Amino acid sequence: MPILNRSGYSINNGRDEIGFQITVGKAVGDVVLDFSHSEIYTRDTTLENRDKKIIEYYGGIYLGNFNSSMKFLLLDGNVDSHFEERRELESKTHGSFKNIETTLSVERVDAVTWQDSTIIFFDVGLAIEFPIWEVLTLRSSYTRRSKKVIEEARGIEWYGFGLKFEPSSTVFLDLWAGKEKGGATCSAGMCRELVPFDGFKLQLNMTL
C-alpha cells in the first residue's frame, strides 16, 4: 500500500491498514501552495494494535530554491514505542543559495507516557550542505532538545560532520562522525528503530 502521509509513518509497515489522503495544490505566479490531510487506521479490529492511528495535517509554500512547511502529526496507540500518544507540531524552512543547502527546523512535541504523565519538549535543528567540489559535499547538523525525555536518547544535544562523495550516479560514499539521537524513523511507510549513535561510520552504496 502506498504511504498516505508526508512523514513516512505507518502502523504495520503498510499491512492491514486503511486510510485516506486529501491533497490540494495551487500555483500563484512563481509561488506553489501545497496542502494535505491524511488519516491511517488498522483495518482488522482483532489485531493487537487495533487502537493505533496516525493523523497528519501538512501545509507547504515553495518559491524557487526556497520552501517552508508546517506539519501537525498525531501518533496514537504505541506507534512511537516510548509514548502512548505523541503530538508533533513542526515548522521547517529550507533554502539554497549558491549551492549551499540550509535547513532549519523547530518542533514541539506533546507526549503522553504509559504512566499517563504528559511531557512537553522542543527540538531545534540546523543542517547545512556545502559543495567543495563537483563530486564532494561537506555536511553538518546540530539538534538541541529542551529537556532530557528518555534515557535511550543519551542527552539533549546531537551533532555531526560528514563528507559525501558521488563520482557517478551509481556510486555513493558517505563518511560521518558525531552523535545521533536515534529513535523511530520512517520512509515510504517502512519504519524502524534506530539505536543512538556516537562515533564515526563509513557507508558505500553501489548500483550495478
pLDDT at 17: 81
147 part of a folded domain:
yes
5 part of a folded domain:
no
User: In residues, how long is the chain?
Assistant: 208
In this predicted model, what pLDDT tens digit does every residue of 13-42 receive, in sequence order?
767 788 899 999 999 999 999 999 999 888
172 part of a folded domain:
yes
How many CB atoms are located within 10 Å of the residue 14 CB? 16
153 part of a folded domain:
yes
pLDDT at 34: 94
72 part of a folded domain:
yes
Number of domains in the chain: 1
* Sheet architecture: strand order including 171-180: 17-28, 31-42, 53-63, 66-76, 85-97, 100-112, 118-133, 136-145, 157-168, 171-180, 197-206
199 part of a folded domain:
yes
Q: Which residue has the higher pLDDT, 163 or 6?
A: 163
pLDDT at 6: 84
pLDDT at 14: 67
* Residue entry with cell 543512538: 196
3 part of a folded domain:
no
Distance CA 38, CA 58 (A): 9
Is the whole-model pTM more than 0.75?
Answer: yes
Provide the domain limits for residue 178: 17-206
Whether the pLDDT of residue 159 is over 70: the answer is yes
pLDDT at 93: 95
CATH of the domain at 147: 2.40.160.10
202 part of a folded domain:
yes
Least confident range from 81-85, 102-106, 169-173, 186-190: namely: 186-190
Distance CA 58, CA 67 (A): 13
The three cell numbers of residue 82 are 516510548
**What does the pLDDT average to over 5-10?**
81
Most confident of 41-45, 72-76, 83-87, 182-186: 72-76
**What does the pLDDT average to over 104-123?**
89
pLDDT at 181: 81
Rounded alpha-carbon distances, angstroms, from residue 105 to 1, 29, 33, 92, 149: 29, 26, 19, 4, 19
Q: Note the helical H segments in 37-183.
A: none
**27: helix, strand or coil:** strand
